[in-house]
Structure 1
Amino acid sequence: MKPRLNIVTLGVKNLPESRLFYKNALGWEPAAGSDENIVFFNHGGIVLALYPLDRLAEDAEVPAERSGFSGVTLAINQDSKEAVKSVFEQAVKNGAKALVAPRETFWGGYDAYFADPDGHSWEIAWAPFWEFDEQGSLKL
């Protein structure tokens, strides 16, 4: 089997709080297999998982301490500038920290950044040249 990205797991400090944040801020419903120990969100072939930070660090055999920018951002692509604004406002309304307000980009698109309650950076972006398939996946 060819290697491909299947799951992105975010270490979180408070799993019930994070589950509620993603449900209320982005409208994502926990998928089958979610329980009080882990939460899965199905995104049409890629799964976002939430798992307690200390247990994730222990499993990966790395320290759980975090500081500053991790060098990773996660992106939500939208089909309009208005949708970028709407998602950003909904996230902030539900506890996200605004990092960059919606803006025109140097590359011809429109984006914004927020951090979830655990400090994970998310970009919401639109580009006039992007196309999406029937499942909402970005076509490259």
Structure 2
Amino acid sequence: MKPKISIITLGVDDLDRATRFYAEGLGLPKYVFDGGDISFFSLEGTWLALYPREALAKDIGIAVSDQAGFSGITLAHNVASKSEVDAVLKQAVSAGAVLVKPAAEAFWGGYSGYFQDPEGHYWEVAYNPYEDLT
């Protein structure tokens, strides 16, 4: 097996709102796809997909949970500087995200902060001075 994550799929309650947030709010490159109720974004090295939460649960063969809260999963976007961390967090918030943790020096020596997208998914925006993950 090749060690790679090809697609990250987020289950969303409002596909149009989520698609607007990622395409217009964060400026991710939307892949034009006429295959149904799903949105794809072609990123460097991976893809991001948005799919209605109930349809995703049905596809997996599980029931949709009514439990709200932290799912135990975060997504990360690494940038090349501390100022870029601040800029991306500001851009996300201006597009409708909620700032969860303002950017600050991290215990591991980097600089990061967190936002929650309009669908409740948590994103870390980070600068890592030790490893170029951009």
TM-score (norm 1): 0.87
CA deviation after TM superposition for structure 1 residue 129, in Å: 1.3
> Quick one: percent identity of the two aligned structures?
44
Offset of residue 9 of structure 1: 0.3
Number of the residue aligned with 2:118 = 117
Cα distance in structure 2, aligned partners of 1:2 and 1:86:
34
Whole-angstrom CA distance in 1 between matches of 2:71 and 2:81: 28
Matches within 5 A, 1:1-140: 2=2, 4-33=4-33, 37-65=37-65, 66-131=67-132, 138=133
Query: What is the number of equivalent residue pairs in this alignment?
Result: 133
Q: Which amino acid aligns with 2:31?
A: A
Q: Which runs of 5+ in 2 are unaligned?
A: none
Matched position secondary structure for 1:4: coil
Q: Distance in 1 between matches of 2:103 and 2:3?
A: 35
In 2, Cα distance between equivalents of 1:36 and 1:98: 32
Change (3 A) 1:36 1:97: farther
Distance 1:60 1:68, change over 3 A: same
Structure 1, unpaired ranges of 5+: 132-137
Query: Which secondary structure does the structure 1 equivalent of 2:30 belong to?
Result: coil
Partner amino acid for 1:50?
A: L
Identify which range, 10-19 or 64-73, moves more after superposition.
64-73
Letter in 2 for 1:82: S
Structure 1 CA distance for aligned equivalents of residues 60 and 42 of structure 2: 23
Q: State the one-letter code of the partner of 2:53.
A: L
Q: What's the Cα RMSD here?
A: 1.7
**Paired residue type of 1:40:** F
Q: Give the TM-score, by structure 2 length.
A: 0.91
Hey, what does 1:134 align to over in structure 2? none
* Secondary structure of 2:83's aligned partner: helix
Q: CA deviation at 1:5?
A: 1.4
Q: Please list every run of at least 4 consecutive aligned residues from structure 1 whose deviation after the TM superposition is greater than 2 angstroms.
A: 1-4, 32-36
Q: CA deviation at 1:26?
A: 1.4
Q: Which amino acid aligns with 2:60?
A: A
SS in 1 for 2:69: coil
